[in-house]
A and B are shown apart, each in its own frame.
Chain A
Amino acid sequence: MNLHEFQARELFGRYGIPFVAGEVAETPAAVRAIAERLAGPVVVKAQVHSGGRGKAGGVKVARDAADAAAHAARIFSLTIQGLPVRRVLVVPAVDIASECYLGVIIDRAAQRPVVIASAAGGVDIEEVAARTPDRIHRVTVDPRYGLLPHQAMALAFRLYDDLAKVRAAAEIARQLYAAFTGLGASLAEINPLAMTTDGRVVALDAKLVVDDNELPARPDIAALRDSSAEAPSEQRARDAGLSFIQLKGTVGCCVNGAGLAMATMDLVKFYGGEPANFLDIGGSSNPQKVVDALEIITADPAVRAILFNIFGGITRCDDVANGIVEATGRLSLTVPLVIRLTGTNEEAAIEILTRAGFSALTDMDQAVERAVALASR
């Protein structure tokens, strides 16, 4: 789950990471009031779940309160990578001498957290990694001991020469690692970590992604989710316990299992179609899930055909068939349905569907080809 910068700042702050304190506003008038209170130049920053805010015009320096309000009005009118700007963060502008990068992620190959530092901060770190990999410094952390003091110092010496600043940066690296583990993060990032012209080391931005698997045990963090940043269909799917991602094609897909769901989308593309969504109804045999899935797929006006691809294992094909019959009885479908079922209780499922006037296939390729043909009619 992605958090906004202002949320990440608040959470990181609990671990002692020094920020230049800011305030959140939802209107230009509120921005003006904050800027007046702060007195002096401020930075107005769009709070959206998207990288490249600066390039999109979502981050502006304002010389005074009136200027801040004017910038805010323009920022509120922006759509950044499809996302409307509903909030901005207003922070005092600081004079920056240098910008560094500090981040913690999981290194999948090493199976451990890794702390990354670079003196080339303030820009997209993946670009730095691609163009000048020698400017990226990494320390793999044994999670049982955490980021050790000498590891933090070694990284900090890559960022600064002056010992006081090295110590300050090492402390922030340790705090960021503590935040990463304490918050159940899959990414915790400060970019830039700035040295000000008056010699302070402070965090100017914060990025936090929390591992979805940590959320059940952390209701306080789960409550910070900003649903306005998601497609409504994705919100509904999450409420229904379905794994769903909205795409832009015309073939609605309803599949059991994430790998098979991806392979089904790929096969739709192989036969010349475009998938409208990724949807995994999971391993359970609950007919209600099928009903919810069909409701969510049919709510997408771009969908021209719906494809069920069920490989029965734990999921029983007859349960899915009952769900299809129940859902179509309630929904009055306007698009054709192609059903592929095979595996556990396949015969019973086909009988249920045939009785209800549906035909069912057992071959995946045949079903996908037919769905693509129907969607392109």
Chain B
Amino acid sequence: MSIFLDRDTRLVVQGITGRDGSFHTRQMMSYGTRVVAGVTPGKGGTLFDGVPVFNTMADAVQDTHPTASVIYVPAAAAAAAIFEAADAGLPLVVCITEGIPVLDMSRVIPFLRERGVRLIGPNCPGLITPGQSKVGIIPGPICRPGRIGVVSRSGTLTYEIVHQLSRHDFGQSTCVGIGGDPIIGTSFVDCLAAFQSDPQTDAVVLIGEIGGTDEQQAAAFVQSDMTKPVVGFIAGQTAPPGRRMGHAGAIAAGAGGTAAEKVAALAAAGIPVMQRPADVVPLLKERL
């Protein structure tokens, strides 16, 4: 098993003919992901590498019965694409796009909640269940099938830590990039709960960063609801206060936003926090 994604997931790609969408669709297909449809308005009726392309999500759903969608459309159209995917009845929507206004996301979220749709992202690398399927842009070759769950607000930092795991024979059950924006669809807690229930996951690596209080909520959840070991990392110890560090959500401002506060919250909940990405393996070995 795994969380959110497995070899049976049937994927529709929103923006399949675009520059990023076409490149990553090929990457996903060569990894083994079952891409059953693509959507690009105006390209309905054509084929992309053998995959049927539709004008609308409703058409794609009717003809190909996907169970998840991934969004590679530009920022200006991305919120609309999330609404469309949710309206078409997909239970899982993964939005890779960076740059969606926060206010747009505040309107998207209640629409999703009412329909029971899980959104991962936006501004995220997606997720991968190694050896089975990947949705998004996480490079397949760095991952190995195994029993460690990984959840992160970052992209390449996740790859760095996954790379450390894979090199030392700690394969992964699922790696989820939840995204670097202030408002995202799936939180650390959502992923931790899923990993706790997943019989194929033995331990979880949580990769947080400055901004917001999602890590503090995760710490509280680990303490009250988890029996599996969790180890953590917090990026941004040296980030100056009040500055946005690349990710729209990575800004140390307001109560709880600094790296020191997050490290303290994790430590207080009994979660060992690595000082360097390379410490992930020794910390896991201690706990397993």
A contact residues vs B (CB 8 Å cutoff): 106, 108-109, 111-113, 126, 129-130, 142-144, 181, 184, 186, 211-214, 216-217, 243, 245, 247, 255-263, 265-270, 275, 278, 280, 283, 311-315, 342-344, 364-365
Contact = CB atoms under 8 A, between A and B. Distances in A.
Contacts of B207: 259
Contacts of B240: 245, 247
19 contacts: A106-B103, A109-B212, A109-B213, A111-B183, A143-B103, A211-B102, A213-B101, A214-B101, A243-B246, A258-B155, A259-B154, A260-B235, A262-B157, A262-B238, A262-B246, A263-B277, A266-B238, A313-B138, A315-B156
B137 interface: yes
B245 A262 contact: yes
B180 interface: yes
A246 to B, nearest CB: 9
- Between B103, B180, B211, B276, the greatest number of chain A beta carbons within 10 A of the residue's beta carbon is seen for B103
B102 A106 contact: yes
Contact size range, B: 35 or more
A257 B101 contact: no
Given A258-B155, A343-B159, 14 more contacts: A106-B182, A108-B212, A109-B213, A143-B106, A143-B107, A186-B102, A211-B248, A217-B101, A243-B246, A256-B156, A259-B158, A260-B156, A260-B159, A364-B278
Nearest to A108: B212
A262 B234 CA distance: 9
A313 B154 contact: no
Contact of A311 (B163, B180, B255): B163
Given A247-B240, A365-B278, A184 B235 contact: no
B238 A364 contact: no
Contacts of B277: 263, 267, 364
Contact of B213 (A108, A257, A283): A108
A142 B236 CA distance: 32
Contact of B154 (A258, A270, A278): A258
Nearest to B111: A144
Given A262-B209, A263-B157, A245 B245 contact: yes
A82 to B, nearest CB: 12
A278 B106 contact: no
Contacts of B139: 312-314, 343-344
Given A259-B247, A342-B163, A364-B277, A268 B238 contact: yes
A112 B154 CA distance: 23
Contacts of B109: 111-112
Q: By DSSP majority rule, is chain A's interface helix, strand, loop, or mixed?
A: mixed
Interface in B151-198: 152-160, 163, 180, 182-183
Contact of B99 (A109, A186, A213, A269): A213
Contacts of B275: 270
B237 interface: yes
A214 B137 contact: no
A259 B103 contact: no
Contacts of A212: 244, 248
Contact of A267 (B103, B254, B276): B276
Contacts of A257: 154-157, 246
Contact of B100 (A113, A130, A213, A243): A213
Nearest to B181: A213
A365 B276 contact: yes
B103 A184 contact: yes
Contacts of A343: 139, 142, 159, 163
B21 interface: no
Top-5 shortest CB links A-B? A259-B154, A258-B246, A257-B156, A259-B157, A262-B235
Contacts of A214: 101, 103
B1 interface: no
Contacts of A312: 139
A262 B102 contact: no
A258 B102 contact: no
B213 A314 contact: no
A191 to B, nearest CB: 16
- Between A112, A266, A312, the greatest number of chain B beta carbons within 10 A of the residue's beta carbon is seen for A266
Contacts of A270: 275-276
Contact of B106 (A106, A260, A311): A106
B248 A262 contact: no
B105 interface: yes
A299 B137 CA distance: 34
A364 B160 contact: yes
Contacts of A314: 137, 139
A262 B156 contact: no
